[in-house]
Structures are given as structure tokens and as C-alpha cells.
Structure 1
């Protein structure tokens, strides 16, 4: 058909009268286009899929402190997307994860707030409160407005950062606080404050630190240490605190003495550091015994030595050595696909819980203070995996273990539950390796994984494998690490991929029942189907002993072994889309109902026009031969 013919046909369509059915059809087509194609076209026209522009410098910001905060957060975008960090606003906003900004290393802990005391160990957790408040705040002198503020807890780095922006006309003075409990120097708490002044005028900030607060019987003295050409004044506080079980600990705190204010010249950056060293005795039966042990162990001199080492260390190296240990701890881990169903555990809660529980455990394999003669003992604890965890109920089903972490009390209660559970479930030897062992034990518990008699068994039931899981770098006990990946395909059936990151010998695996020939494992993923047995057995076995697997199948007495059926479509839709409507969004069904309603309105209007219309506005067309008055099965008079 020529272009001229198409144009003429279109003109006749526009100029002529349109039948009611054709009008209805055009309305339906137009509605579908607007509902489904329109939003995508609008996003494309607005360029929402274009790359994010580079952050602008902190000058001439039309939005003042808000723009300053947005620029500062660009550096955290990647780790926030990976759930390696969590962001909250001050004051809180709807949708924020209100996890307490908390740092700890198993020996000492601190919350990033002015009224936070130092926390020391008492039994399983750091719940002994020491009435010394070391947190330093920098407040802009003469500020008429509160600063915009956000807090970022960096799980993988073991660091808490507070970002503040004070309005300064069309610019913003920004303050960055950084807190961490050092992993290689367990007695050291580090605070760093950086103030950047983009204006031409000098600005003064008042430094506030509460220090000793109602510590009965505490002795205070002041001194200083010289490093290079700088003198670093500090305060020494010695006293006794009472633990939850009515025991007594002698405690020594050495903390930097901060000046009353700091001046930041125009277009310049100033950094202030506050170091706090903490040491304490073992629990004693009385106050006198605790004070006597303070003297016998010369804890004051030892604590000053830790403070001096922190002062003399290069700040960047001090931070990097701390971060390096935390990142080693996170080389193992657990990941889970995000679910939109109600009351489920997702990756953000899991990472937060792992971080807070590991903050209650020391890392003797990485600490400078660890006695070298005891290192083999700690390594042996990590490699002794027998009997941990070994419960058919994986911990993802225990909602008490995943409670909100809004306060230090929440953190201590959750960590105590976890450590007590792992200890009672056969992981006590592994916990002796410190934070490394805590991470391994928690991962095992999440998958009902168990090391038993020379093999690792994966105990989750097939019905629970309805989400994607990754158990990353499970320590097999001899330096070999195993990664298990559970994936659910489009047909809603799960399978397991097994990978070894390195191995000093051959390893083999078999699926549920172990009736098939064992498969050799390697650095490339090896796939196993998820099978359902009667009676239920673990879905996977891994060992380095081929003969062990060959004999194991004779000890697993099963009546029937079949490939596990596909998961229910409604269950999968609930996790993937937040509802069980066949995987289609609620917006689709609302659109369908609207179109059905529009169709019935047109149908009612058509019937009314045919029966009651005095003058027809639409010209109808005959659909069969015969009298033109017989149209659509209705007898009407046509002009």
C-alpha cells in the first residue's frame, strides 16, 4: 500500500464516524499503552537511567547542608548497595535502619554518642559499664542551626562514621567523626575528627568530652607523652567497677586531654585525634582484691604504654591495620537473596548481627598482644570443627536471634543469645579462636551445617531451600575452604553448587542418601541436585576420604530417594514480589479491573443509546444480510 493510500485511510478514519465497538477497542489499546508503556517512556525521557553525575565540590550549594550530606555519601554508595554498611539519619527518618553506632573488639567497646561509657568484658559479652565517657564532640561556635547529620556503620571495616554539615551561607562547614576499637591493639579506642572549612573566614569549634562521670573511688591524675615535636597530654583514671555477678574488676583508663576549642582557618582542614587506652583485671571477689591486682600487674604502666604506642603510630597505618583484620574476618560470610515477604530475615539484618556479635569477640590470631607460644593453640581451636553446629533447625528460623539492634542493650542481649547457643551446640572449641571462630560457627548454624566424623553435611531440608543462599569460605579444618551456593531456577527447583578455593588433597561430594557415585570437587562449581529422602537425611555430604563416602551410603538407611519437587509457585511469588498473585505486580491487576470497568461502562452506554437514543451519534454497520433494522440482534429504527 502506498503512503498516499495510508494517509487517505487515516483521514477517512478521523473524519468519518467511529462505531462504538471500534471506539471501545481504541480506548482499551490506549489505556494499555499508557499504563505499561507510558511509565517506561517517561523514565527514559527524564533520563533516570543515565549515570549519576559526579559529586560537586562543597561550594555554592543551592540546597545548603542537604547537598553537602549528599555529596559526602557518594563515597559510601557501593558498600551501602552491597549491605556492607548501614545508614541512618539524625534525627531518624522513616525507613532508616536504626542500628546503634557501636564499635568493639572483644576487649573494649564504645557507642558513638557523647553519653556512652566504655564497655569492658563480663562473662560472654562486653556488658561491664565503666563510668568514663571518652567521646569528643566538636560544636561550631555561634551556630544558630543544628547541623545536618547522618551516621554510617561500616560492618566490613569495623568503623563508625558520623557526617555533619553546618550551614555557612551558600556553603557548608563539614565535620567527619571516625570511631573504631582497634583490632590489633585490643586495649585502644580511636576517635578522629576532621573539620573542613570551605569559607574565607576562620571558624572556631568547641571540643566537648564528659570524661569521668560518677565513678566512686576513682583516682585521677594528668600527664603527657612527647612524640616528635608534639606533646600529647592525657588523663589517667584508676578505679574499680562491679560486674553483673557482683564481682569486682580493677580498671585503668588513659585518654587524651582535649583543648577547649580548635580554630579552623579559611579554606583549610584540621584533624583532631583522641585516643583512649583501657585495661582491666580478672574478676575479683572484693574491691580490695581488685585494687591489689591493679598494683601487682602494673596495669597503669601497661595501659600508658598502649596509649603511647597509639600516639606514636602513623594515623593512616593505625587505621589500615585495623581495617585489614576486619576484612580478613569477612572473607568468610553468608549471603541470601532479598525477599519481599513479610517477617523474613534479609541480608541487612544478617550482616548487622554478624558484625555486632563479632564485636564481642577478640581476634587472638591477629592481635599484637597475643603470646606467640599460644598461637598454635588458637589455630587448633579454629581447625577443630567436629560437632559444630549439628541441629536440624537452622538459625534463620529462630526470630529471637534476629531482634532489632537499636541500643547497646539490644546488642548485648542478641550477642549473648548467639554465643550461648553456639557454645551449647558444640561450637565451644571453635569459639576459642575468637572472632574468626565466631564467624565460622554462625555460618554453619545458618545452614544447619555440621562437621561429623570426617565429613561436612548440609542439613537444611529441601522445603527450606526456596531462596538463594551462599555459604562463603567454610573452613574445612585444614586450610581448605568450601563455598556452597544454593540457587533456585526459573522452574522453582533448587540445586547446590560446590566450589573449593584451594585444597591440599582431593575432595568428594555426594547428594542426599549418597547412593550415587561420589563426585570429585574442585575450583570450578560442581552441581548437585536437591533430593528428598524418606526418612529425611542431609542434602549434601563432603569429605576428602572417598572410602568414607562409599561406606557412608551403607549407614544411611533410606526407603526412597527422589529429586525434590519444585517449590510452590505462590510461595516463590511471595518472596520475589511481595504477594502471591502469580508473580504479577498488584498494579497489573488494578489495571485489569479498571479496563473491565471501562468496558462495562461503554457496554451500558451502548445499550442505553440503542434503546433510548432519539438521535444516533454513532453510525452502526450491518453484520449479516437481511433487514438493516436487525443489528446486534436488536430491533431498532435507523435513520
Structure 2
């Protein structure tokens, strides 16, 4: 009986306009909440299920490890069906001499005297299946291997089993130690019971000047030689010559079999020249391209990839790892990783150039091992223009590359910039952490206000050794410093002491557990950590700092943020009290004062 009476009340409630508005707003908020917090999981389930069918299930099985690698920071997803995780920048590979925009199928070239210019040449070889019922693909940048990988799953027959799908894996990389070489490696697996056919072609530009192509032959080896030009300022041109492996126009893969194909491209670009010198310049570039292509065609693909990966692994010995971010201004792990990848891909690596003289090599290595006065000024951690969350394309990427080089040059890192990709990585590492080399030591001078973030800087070159420095947080969210060393050459003793150097310096060792230092803040502000090979220098340092006080980090922050003054809180409390008194007076006058309205109306 009681329930029936309550139900009869609802129509009366909905007759009120304000009740209908409240109900509409509540329903809208519920929908928004469901979309934000449940939509991504729902979409993942939808896309991984019937929406993408057999080819989607096949793709899920092929890239099951990608998400694990992405969580570790080793992979940046470019495109993935059913997930809103699109790379906020170009999908590119490069080595400082060439850049290949894999997403747009564009080739950019540079020379010693000019920066990158876009050509009208399409570097990718396209493998299109004939008669596929469905196709699904995903793309990712593999940071530790320096390549872009795309996996395509093709449903070629009416089967409900994902195991019958044909998979095509494509790897793209610009060779790190061979600056003129671009490699596209294709691996096709056909588990079905039918022959699978692919049409092989290259995309032709719709506008602009096309490249002319001819068939070349060197000792029974055939390849295609394409040539074109890029117009630059002052009426000059850059001549571009590309030698590419010749492939058949159609490929058939037998049932229950696999097929590998490696497409090699050699790209040579001239300095800006007058059109009158076109013939002589073309002859030189043509001979250089033919010579290198002939050498590559006699190499094993595995050896070529091993060369590239060895140099790339050497580059990423150094790096930045974000462990915990507690504010909105610190760049994310993916933003840092992809920015480092982009900057390395735009830079030459002269240290691995076999043509570099021993004298020049020793000079660059000395810059790398002890970059005196680099990095001066405040840390670049919160410089959003240096660590952008998104890039519109290669043009904006090259502008970022120029900005990084300019910033490092103006902050005492000019010698590192001249060392190419290895030096640029080291300069970015020092700038992020606020590390600076002086005449006698390396000092960590990070802003105390950013130490609520936890991060690690690995591979800091000190002489020929590598130092790992981490800012970590304990159980009470208090920061401390963790330092370890990886000795590369003969053992050289390294010492470290915290801010003020009041305690005896500690000798650093290669032990896995490393060394822990407290975060102390001095007045006036001085570096948080000193590292040096000179023990006496650190012992003498304490007498030259002339400090007023030394506080623990939490004590320093407590003094900086003492809260709002008592007068502010008293004013807020007074306003709240006065408002409620005024509200009470209005209600009293309405129902209890002279001429008050009756609380209940009579039904009669």
C-alpha cells in the first residue's frame, strides 16, 4: 500500500518544470560519465571482437606484445584499430642525411651546406594483395631498434579461423652507419591453402616534377636508377639520385609458405649547384650510387640490419625515464621518448663515419666525455616548446631540431652539438636534469620545486664512464638521489657528495644497488650533488660555498608554502556565517513573520 502511494507521487513530480530539468541534466551527466570511464574499454572490446572480424582477431594475436613494450616505453604506437592512441607526430625514419616520412611516403634529403628539403620522390614500395576479403593493420615505432614496423592481416578466404589469415610485416629504417641507405624489409606468411598474389608498385606523384628512371646493370646485378631535382634559393638546384633494387611487378606466395623481400635504396644528393653544372654533378652522383648499391646487393640482409641496430643501440645507451609525474607541466614518458627519437633521426653520427680521421674522432670523443660548461642555466624539463606534445609534420619537426641545437649552443654545449647524434643526446640529457660540467666536477642543480617528480637519467658520460642518476621518492613521498656508475675503461675513482659537501665524499662503485644521497637545500641555493674524480677538490668545496643554512627538502618546501594568512580564513568564515544568517532571516520572515503564508493549504 505504501509503495503504491509513493509510485503515484512520481507523475506529480515530473509535472514540475524544474524536476524535469534536474532529471534531464542528471541523465546527461550519467551518459558523459559512462563515455569517459567506460567508453575506451567498450570500444576495445568492440573492435577486438566482431567489428573487425577474422582479420582483426589475427592482428590482435600478432601484436599482443606491442602493448607490453609500449608500457615499458620501448614502443610508441602510431595506429592501432579500436584504440584512440594515434601518434601526435610524423611516422618517420632518418639518419641525418635522409628522412623518410613513412606515413606520407615522402623523401627528404640534406647535404653538408643545406638543411633538409622535400623531394618529389616516393621511396616506399607498395605490396597490394589481389582479392582480399578484409584487411586490418597496425603501425608502431620501435625506439630500441630505430625502425617503424607495420603489420597487416589479410583475410583471403572464407574462414572463421584467424590462423588462416595472411600476415605482411614491413620494417622501415634509415641505416644509421650508412647515411645514404634506406631499407624496407617485407616478410609475408601464408598459412592458407591457396596461392596469394601481390601487385608490387611505387606511388607516382600527382603533381610536380617527376623523377626519370632507367634500368642499370653492374656485373649481372640489375637495379633502377632515378634522378630528379629540388629547386632552392638563388635559382640553384639540388640534384637527387636514387638507386633502388628492381623487383617484379607481381609476387605469388605459395600455400603454407613464407617469403622475404628486402628493398634497398641508395640516396645521394648534391650541394646547391647552378643548372649549367647538372651533367657533371649527375655523373658523380650516379657513380657513387651505383658503387654503393653494388656493395649492398652482395651483403646479407641480417648483416645490414645488425650494423644499423648496433649503432642505434650505442646511441640510446643514454636516455631519460619518467617514473612518476605529479603535475601537468612535466612532459610524459612517450613525449620524451619520441622527442629523443626524432632528434636522433635528424642528426648525423660522424663518430661512426669510417672517413673521419683519428684526430677528429679523438677530439669529438673528448667533447662527449667531458662537456665543459654544458649545460648552463635552468633545466629544460618544463620547456614545453622543447618537449612538445604534438607535431604537425616534418617541417615542424625540423624547426624543433633547429631549436634544440640553438638552445644547446647558447647554453655552453656547442662542442656536443658538433659531435652529431651522440652529442645531441648527451646535451638533451644534461639539459633535462639541470646537470652542468665545470672545470673540476659535474653538478646536479635541479630546481627543488620539481623534485616531486620521479625520473632517471641514464648514460651520462663522465670521462669514459657512464653515470646513472635518479630522483626517487620514498614511502613518505620525500625525494632522494640514487647514483650508480658503469665503468667502461680502466678503473678511475669517482667521488660524490650532497649539497654543501659537509659529509665526507663517497666513492662511487659499479655495484647494482648504487649509492643513495639525501636531498638537501642550502641557503643560498647551491647544487644538490657534486661528482668528481678529484677527492681533494670536493673536500675543499665545503669551505668555499659560505652557506647560511642547510635544510631537508621537506623543511625547505614547508617554509616556502606556509599556507594562507589567518585574516583570509577569518574573512571567508565571516562571509559564510553572514550569508547563512541572512538566509535564515529570509526564511523566518516568509513563514513566521507578519503576513506569513500558511505552511499547508487546506483542501477545502
Report if TM-score (shorter chain) is over 0.5: yes
Q: Structure 1: how far apart are the matches of 2:549 and 2:468? A: 28
1:450–1:459 CA contact under 8 A, matched in 2: yes
Q: Which residue does the alignment assign to 1:95?
A: 85
Q: Which deviates more from structure 2 when the two are superposed, residues 94-103 or residues 271-280? A: 94-103
2:481 corresponds to which of 491, 496, 519: 496
SS at match of 1:199: coil
2:79–2:87 CA contact under 8 A, matched in 1: no
**What does 1:159-558 correspond to in 2, within 5 Å?**
159-168=147-156, 169-170=158-159, 171-210=164-203, 216=209, 220-226=213-219, 232-243=221-232, 248-284=237-273, 286-289=274-277, 292-295=280-283, 298-339=284-325, 341-371=327-357, 374-392=360-378, 394-403=379-388, 404-405=390-391, 407-476=393-462, 478-502=463-487, 504-524=491-511, 525-558=514-547
Q: Structure 1: how far apart are the matches of 2:232 and 2:547? A: 53
**What does 1:120-139 correspond to in 2, within 5 Å?**
120-121=109-110, 127-139=116-128
1:109–1:119 CA contact under 8 A, matched in 2: yes
Q: Which residue does the alignment assign to 1:71?
A: 61
2:142 counterpart of 1:149: no
Deviation at 1:369, TM superposition (A): 5.0
Cα pair distance change 1:340/1:547, threshold 3 Å: closer
Unmatched tracts of structure 1, length 5 or more: 1-61, 570-639
Report which structure shows greater RCO (CA 8 Å, sep ≥6). Answer: 1
Q: Structure 1: how far apart are the matches of 2:503 and 2:55? A: 64
Cα pair distance change 1:368/1:262, threshold 3 Å: farther
Deviation at 1:516, TM superposition (A): 2.9
Cα pair distance change 1:373/1:556, threshold 3 Å: closer
Q: Structure 1: how far apart are the matches of 2:206 and 2:293? A: 21
SS at match of 1:490: coil
Unmatched tracts of structure 2, length 5 or more: 1-51, 559-604
Cα pair distance change 1:90/1:514, threshold 3 Å: closer
Q: Once the two structures are superposed, what CA deviation does each residue of 1:372-428 show, in whole Å capped at 9, x if it has no partner?
A: 564323323323401111112x11110111221453234223222222211222212
Q: Once the two structures are superposed, what CA deviation does each residue of 1:597-633 show, in whole Å capped at 9, x if it has no partner?
A: xxxxxxxxxxxxxxxxxxxxxxxxxxxxxxxxxxxxx
Deviation at 1:105, TM superposition (A): 0.8
1:106–1:126 CA contact under 8 A, matched in 2: no
Q: Structure 2: how far apart are the matches of 1:179 and 1:424? A: 35
The number of residues matched between the two structures is 499
1:106 corresponds to which of 96, 105, 108: 96
1:119–1:126 CA contact under 8 A, matched in 2: no
Q: Once the two structures are superposed, what CA deviation does each residue of 1:147-181 show, in whole Å capped at 9, x if it has no partner?
A: 10100110110011111111232231111111000
Cα pair distance change 1:294/1:463, threshold 3 Å: same
2:374–2:436 CA contact under 8 A, matched in 1: yes
SS at match of 2:313: helix
Cα pair distance change 1:518/1:155, threshold 3 Å: same
2:176–2:349 CA contact under 8 A, matched in 1: yes
Cα pair distance change 1:390/1:267, threshold 3 Å: same
Deviation at 1:63, TM superposition (A): 4.4
2:330–2:382 CA contact under 8 A, matched in 1: no
Deviation at 1:214, TM superposition (A): 5.7
2:133–2:154 CA contact under 8 A, matched in 1: no
Q: Once the two structures are superposed, what CA deviation does each residue of 1:75-127 show, in whole Å capped at 9, x if it has no partner?
A: 435422211111232668423334422111111110214x4222112689963
Deviation at 1:248, TM superposition (A): 3.6
Deviation at 1:290, TM superposition (A): 6.3
Q: Structure 2: how far apart are the matches of 1:565 and 1:124? A: 52
SS at match of 1:134: coil
Deviation at 1:343, TM superposition (A): 5.0
| Higher Cα Rg, which structure | 1
SS at match of 2:128: strand
Q: Once the two structures are superposed, what CA deviation does each residue of 1:286-327 show, in whole Å capped at 9, x if it has no partner?
A: 3335664454xx222111112122221101111121111111
2:484–2:508 CA contact under 8 A, matched in 1: yes
Cα pair distance change 1:454/1:287, threshold 3 Å: farther
Q: Once the two structures are superposed, what CA deviation does each residue of 1:194-230 show, in whole Å capped at 9, x if it has no partner?
A: 221111111111112025776649654321345xxxx
SS at match of 1:323: helix
1:443–1:471 CA contact under 8 A, matched in 2: yes
1:468–1:485 CA contact under 8 A, matched in 2: yes
Q: Structure 1: how far apart are the matches of 2:113 and 2:136? A: 37
Cα pair distance change 1:488/1:256, threshold 3 Å: same
2:552 counterpart of 1:563: yes
Cα pair distance change 1:235/1:144, threshold 3 Å: same
Over the aligned positions, Cα root-mean-square deviation in angstroms equals 2.8
SS at match of 2:493: coil
1:232–1:256 CA contact under 8 A, matched in 2: no
Cα pair distance change 1:464/1:123, threshold 3 Å: farther
